Amino acid sequence: MNDKLKSIHAEFEQSIVSVSSNEDLEAVRIRFLGRKEGLVTNMFKDLGKLSVKEKPVYGQKINDLKNLITEKIAQKVKEIEQKSIESLKSKGADAFDLSLPAFKNEIGAMHPLSIVTDEICTLFVEMGFMVVEGPEIETEYYNFEVLNIPLEHPSRESFDTFYLHKKSLLRSHTSPVQARYMEKNKPPIQIIVPGKVYRPDATDATHSFMFHQIEGLLVDEGITLAHLKGVLSVFAKKLFGVKTKTRFRPHFFPFTEPSAEMDVSCIICSGKGCRVCGGNGWLEILGSGMVHPKVLKAVNIDSSKYSGFAFGMGVERIAMLKYGIDDIRLFFENDMRFIKQFS
Ligand code: PHE
């Protein structure tokens, strides 16, 4: 037994000196300490054949050898690591500062505007709408003319729109996408259009020169104001809860006739009146109306056969109401402490 232990020890010492990689080291570990056929492991199995007197003596010796091997393997691990660092450095890689702490693996979060956009689009997709997107750089024609916004309309003036060149601009709403879509597709049309829009407003707690809109359009035979009210009331209930009431106030938009703004009963006080709704119990949510026959004509849709409704809302405003956010600038500061609260 003594001889066997000595020869195992000798063999180990011989093999460990030539080891230079982690793979070789693992092979050595398995040969001596492997659980099934390791040379040292097998020695423990042989203990059974010894007398009661010899057992503890040899048990101790085998254990000592096992500990020695374990220790030398651990030492070798460090040696190999050190060598690979040395070789990196000698290859001119001393730009690596291995003492620098590693980058933290930060887990991201969905931006609240993305969450709300997804939620709203999903509600409309469930009602049969299709999501369509379009360019942020637009022509005067699609941003204004085709939508029956005449030259003298205030939103045409340069202080109200970011002009890039004489005829191109940053879109001030996503309605041009709907016009582009109507030009290329025949009714029935049922689309929802999310995207960034730009208006040269001075930035404050409720204004930003860039914000997000979601607009929708439905054109088919026999579409009436009743369809508009039905779809948008269902939408409001799905977004803010079944008890949500809606009301439609007459309004003016050049591209719809008649036009209306939709209010929902205040989601904070349920209509009793509070600070958020300014005490009157209602919150304005979106603009809407029946597509103006002039707009249908401009995109070659026969307005004696087809009619439709359209609507548009600001995503920031809805997200602010939904989450109780009181400053629009928080959305654009990229502060993870803010963004992470909504995931
Ligand atoms: N385009 C309008 C805006 O940006 C919103 C709107 C869309 C209103 C469709 C009515 C119908 O303010």
Q: Are residues 188 and 335 in the same domain?
A: yes
Q: Are residues 73 and 161 in the same domain?
A: no
Q: Are residues 78 and 143 in the same domain?
A: no
* Ligand 1 centre distance from Cα of residue 312 (Å): 4
Q: Are residues 147 and 61 in the same domain?
A: no
Domain presence at residue 107: no
* Ligand 1 centre distance from Cα of residue 35 (Å): 74
pLDDT at 108: 82
* Ligand 1 centre distance from Cα of residue 304 (Å): 23
Domain presence at residue 102: no
Q: Are residues 79 and 198 in the same domain?
A: no
Q: Are residues 84 and 117 in the same domain?
A: no
**Cα(39)–Cα(37) distance, integer angstroms:** 6
pLDDT at 275: 85
Q: Are residues 130 and 227 in the same domain?
A: yes
Q: Is 59 exposed, middle or buried (0-12, 13-18, 19+ CB in 10 A)?
A: middle
pLDDT-derived band at 93 (thresholds 50, 70, 90) equals: low
Q: Are residues 8 and 52 in the same domain?
A: yes
CB within 8 A of 12, min separation 6: which ones?
28, 32, 69, 72
pLDDT in tens, 261-297: 999 999 888 889 888 888 999 999 999 999 999 999 9
pLDDT-derived band at 189 (thresholds 50, 70, 90) equals: very high
Single-letter residue type at 303:
S
pLDDT at 90: 77
pLDDT in tens, 147-180: 999 878 776 776 578 999 878 999 999 999 999 9
Domain presence at residue 192: yes
Domain presence at residue 95: no
Q: Is the pLDDT of residue 343 over 70?
A: yes
**CATH number of 242's domain:** 3.30.930.10
Give the rounded percent of residues in the chain with a pLDDT score beyond 70.
97
Domain presence at residue 106: no
Domain presence at residue 18: yes
Q: Are residues 180 and 266 in the same domain?
A: yes
Q: Is the pLDDT of residue 317 over 90?
A: yes
Residue after which a domain boundary falls, among 90, 123, 140: 90
Domain presence at residue 104: no
pLDDT at 147: 95
> Which residue's alpha carbon is nearest to atom 6 within ligand 1?
312
Task: Of 12-26, 126-140, 158-172, give the lowest mean pLDDT range.
Answer: 158-172
pLDDT at 136: 97
**Cα(18)–Cα(39) distance, integer angstroms:** 19
pLDDT in tens, 234-243: 999 999 999 9
Average pLDDT of the chain is: 92
pLDDT at 1: 82
Which residue range is the domain that position 181 belongs to? 112-342
Q: Is the pLDDT of residue 14 over 90?
A: yes
Check: CB of residue 214 under 8 Å from CB of residue 174: yes
pLDDT at 280: 92
Global model pTM greater than 0.75: no
Q: Are residues 40 and 149 in the same domain?
A: no
HSE-up of 84 (CA within 13 Å, CB side)?
9
* Ligand 1 centre distance from Cα of residue 190 (Å): 16
Q: Are residues 183 and 298 in the same domain?
A: yes
**Cα(121)–Cα(174) distance, integer angstroms:** 14
Q: Are residues 338 and 295 in the same domain?
A: yes
Our count of domains for the chain comes to: 2
Which atom, in ligand 1's list, is nearest to the CA of 215?
Answer: 7
User: Mutation test of ligand 1: which of 144, 175, 177, 295 has the most ligand atoms closer than 8 Å to its C-beta?
Assistant: 175
Domain presence at residue 99: no
